[in-house]
Every structure is written in C-alpha cells, then in structure tokens.
Amino acid sequence: MKRSSSTSEGGGNRLFSGVFARGDVARCVSDEAWLEAMLDVEGALARALARAQLATPDAAAAITAAARAADLDVARIGAASASTGSPVVALVEALRAAVSSDAAATVHRGATSQDVLDTAMMLIAKRAGAILLNDLAAAADAAALLVERHRGAVMVGRTLLQQAVPVTFGLKAAGWLTALDAARTRLADLVRARLPIQFGGASGTLASLGDRGVDVAALLAEELGLAMPVVPWHTLRLTVFELASALAGVSLVLGKTARDVTLLAQSEVAEVSEAGDAARGGSSTMPQKRNPVAAVAILGCARRVPGLLATLAAAGEQEHERAAGAWHAEWEPFADLVRLTGSAAAWSRELLEGLKVDPARMRTNLEAAGGIPLAEHLSALLAPTMGPPALDLVKEAVARARRSGRPLLDALFDHPATATALANANLDRTKVTRALEPESYLGSTQTWIDRALAAHGALRARERVTP
C-alpha cells in the first residue's frame, strides 16, 4: 500500500501527529481508510445489484474480491482527481480494470461519484464513531470514579476566575461527567442509527435502474449497515452538519474539562496534576517544569474545531441537484474534525483515568482565604433581621479583612457595629465560626452528585443492553 511521504497514516502532518492524531480514530480518516470505504461502497453496490437480479452473483463476487485498497495506488488516484474533481472516477476505472469485462459493466452501475463519496463518508463516521464512543465511555467512567472518590473534597468555587463560594471537587467532576454523557449520547444516536447511504444517481432519480432504483438503494443500505434515507440528499446537507455539530459538541465538552485541569494544575493552585513519569511535561529549557500535556493537547485539538464546523456549515447551502464546489469543500474539514475529536477523546481518556486530585491542597487553598468565600452564608444568616443592608455590612467586613490580612471572623467581631448586628441576629462567635466552615454551606451538592452518578449508571446500563 503506497502512502504520501508528507502525511501520516492518520492524516495531517506527521510532525504533529503525536498531538493531533492520538488514538485509533485517526487511522479511520487516512487516505487508505477513505479508499477502503469507497471500495466497500462499490462492492456493496455490486452485491445489492445482484440481489435485485440486475447483475450476476459472479460479477458481484468478482467486484467484491477486487475492491481492495491494498491493491491500489492512493497517490495516483489522488493525483487523477485533478482531472475530474474527485477521486471516484479514477477509483472506478481502476476497479473496472481489475475485473473481467462482464463484471466491469456492473461496477458503479446506477451510481454517481457523489453517491460513493458521501456513503464512504458515512461509513467512515460509523467506523471512527465506534472507536470514539468507546474512548468517550471510558473517559466518562473515569470521571464518575473521580466524582465518587472526591464527592466530599471541599474546594474554592471560582466564578469569573475569582473565588466564589465553596464547592466540592466531586461536584465539579459531576459537571464534566454529565456534559460528557450528554455529548456522547447525541453522537451515538447519529452514529449507531441515523447515518444514511447516498444513492441517487445523476440527479437523484436513479433513472438508469428503471423502476428498481429504490429497491437497490434499500439493499445497499442493508449491505453497509447504514440507514435508508427518505430521498437522496446530494445537496441537502443537514446530516453532515448534524454529524459535525455532534462532534463539535464532544470537543467542546472535552475542552472545558481540559481547561479546568490546566487552571487547577497551575503552580500557585496545584489542586490537580496529570499522571506520568518524570519526563512527562518537560520543558526544553526549564528543569522545574511539568506541564499538563494531555490537557494542553486536548485544548489544541478543541481550538481548531469551531473553524471546521463553520466551514462545514457554510458548505451546507448548495445549488439545485449538485453543488459547484461546496461539496468538495467538505471532505478535508470533515476528516480533520473526526481526527481532532478522536485525538481529544483519546487524550481525555488518559487524562481522566490518571488524574491526581489533592484534597489537602484544596482545603489549604480554601482556608488561606480566611473565611471570605463564606461571606454569602453570613449575609444569608443576617438577612432575616437586617434585610438588604446585611449584604453591605458583610461586604465592608470583607474589605476590612482584605486590607488587614486578618480572617473574616476577626474582622466581623472586632468592628463594633458589625458585632452588634451579629448579636441582634443571635449569632455569637461559635455560630459564626460554624457558618464559616465550608461544609456548612454546600447546599444541594450531594444531591446533585447522586443525580449525576445515577444518570451515568442508567446510561451505562442501557449501553450494555444495546451496545
């Protein structure tokens, strides 16, 4: 099997494939994988024609046997597309040359080039999707384990990158988990049941097959394990956009998780770290560095996805029965989108399965804030007796604590007006001390965590029944 010297088997530049083509999804969008998928379509079409009694079983068998990517020159077929606008014409010519003249008449019968390429795209999505969904399921399981292990690990919640009220790491990971399960469920719905064949012939009528076109289409779908569309969709690109959108949704969720990890892994925060040996995450110049490589790689993949989605969305508006250029604009962005999402998923599986969480450091960082993250709790306790002014009273106490570097507890009781307000609310030093403990202000945290784990468990149970 011949390959271009400038690209890796997984597509893209080989120099960067360790980051952007990690895992097994990348091989599903290689040149050879595209060629194999197109040949699988041609072989399946020959078998469908034979089953419809529009071709002989011998011809179908010969075409199926000859439809082997290993026997074709990928570079030559790719170069030939410059003359025809797609690689399908050269592929069909090569396949016809590989069989007898009788069988050659059956090759590609009734189809147009777009039928072959679009259906190959759906096959690639199905094959890559199975691998991708497996990695995503493993990543979700790893997230669920983090939720269970650290459901009570209190930490500072952060909004607009500033300290807010306490949360637990389990709740943060529960957010990752539920988003990941939602994104992969959406993708699975498409990949497992709704990827359609494309088979409409020159203008969607299948006129060259007489009144048997729809029969052959149904048999082709059955042969390939793809869905039968209501009508051909040559210039109706909603399926492509839905698939791209679902992949982008996965990438978005993985990117959010990775972004949280990079922020929590900062030297000044140090609440999580990635697994790996001493060489992992090293710098070319700074001996002390241990960079969060997996999270950074996920973000590198995810940052490229919105542009690819935009290209595919822009290409979706097409003319009449066949597009002039917009269809061609889909091929490489689609392959890149699948590869990058697959790479992000493989990295995420590794990241979450090995993520090291430091609850002690989380507690230290929270306590270093001197009780200030619990200011909202104090406002809520004072509000029944003071009303809205309670917020201003506590806000002034927080400002005094920050200026002096003292704990909020001292800033409250060392100020006469504030101490009086607390006494009027029947809040002595012991009660306020308890109110400034993070465990006292976690609200529905454990209920949310229970819901997240239950939803994940139910999803995994359904998946075991219907893989």
Which are the catalytic amino acids? 283, 322
Contact 120, 195 (CB under 8 A): no
